[in-house]
Amino acid sequence: MASIYSILHLFNSLLPRILIGFQIDPTGTSKVYCKLNIYLSNQFSLTAQTFLILATVDRYLCSCRQLRYYREWKKVKSIRIVIGITIIFYILLLIPHLIFYDTNSDNACSPTSNSFNYYVIYFMDLILITLTPIVATMYFGLNTCINIRQQRKTVHAAAPHTTIVKSAIRNRMEKQTMRMLLLQIFVNCISSTPLLVQSIYASATLQNDKDLLLVAQENLFKTIVRLLSYVTYTAGFYINFISSSEIRRILKEKVHRRHYSTTQVTTDNHTAN
């Protein structure tokens, strides 16, 4: 689900930027598109990040000794309920965006209320979109790594006669999980920390008088960190590819098989001619 919403967020957020490159800005000319674009962009972004956090929570519960919590969590009914609640929650939470966003005199899509603008800056941008994913991912990811290390020591101490094959498989899976979690934490920090800094700066200087040069510099920095934040939604495949030797092996086999099939078809066509 996180991958689906990540793709939807990338498509919905990057399409207007591509159109602006062709001197087409639908967000500034269409009130309906302005409202829907902001609404869907935030909904897809928050839902994707929440599912990524839930995936980290899933790994954390799997590493805990209290397996009964993990069994309850892994029930199909529980998973469906959590997914449904997450989607419905953000659908309802973001309804005010459909009301308080509109095109202004400069043909820009922005909040029409100062109070709602404060809500967007302090709560939505600062807490939900930037701070919460960083803190949650680091907390559950690092605690998962700690649990895995403790379990490894416990297993070796309690079962010294464990077969070499089982021990090697367990160690390999644990190392892959730890690499995956540490890479996920690193990517989230690299892509989200600049956005967090920008959100804090924007909230701290909201009431300041700014000249045109400073506004232009702030807009440039905001654009750069916004583009950098998209790494969070595109890095999943690369993190899994780097962390898992099994995924690399399967991908190589598929590429080799595809290349062999293409070569075979080309050879058959030349032979037929």
Give CA separation, 150 vs 33, 66, 68, 145, 154, in Å: 52, 14, 19, 9, 6
Q: Tens digits of per-residue pLDDT, 15-51?
A: 877 777 777 777 667 788 888 888 999 999 999 999 9
Q: Tens digits of per-residue pLDDT, 130-184?
A: 888 888 988 888 888 888 777 666 655 555 555 555 556 666 666 777 777 778 8
- Phi, psi angle pair for 49, to nearest 5°: -65, -35
CA distance 9 to 5: 6
Q: Which residue segments constitute the domains of the chain, with CATH numbers given? A: 2-234 (1.20.1070.10)
Distance of CA 43 to the CA centre of its chain: 12
Separation of first and last alpha carbons in the chain: 48
H or E element at residue 109: strand 109-111
Q: Which residue has tokens 């309804």?
A: 95
- What is the model's pTM? 0.78
Q: What confidence score (pLDDT) does residue 43 get?
A: 92
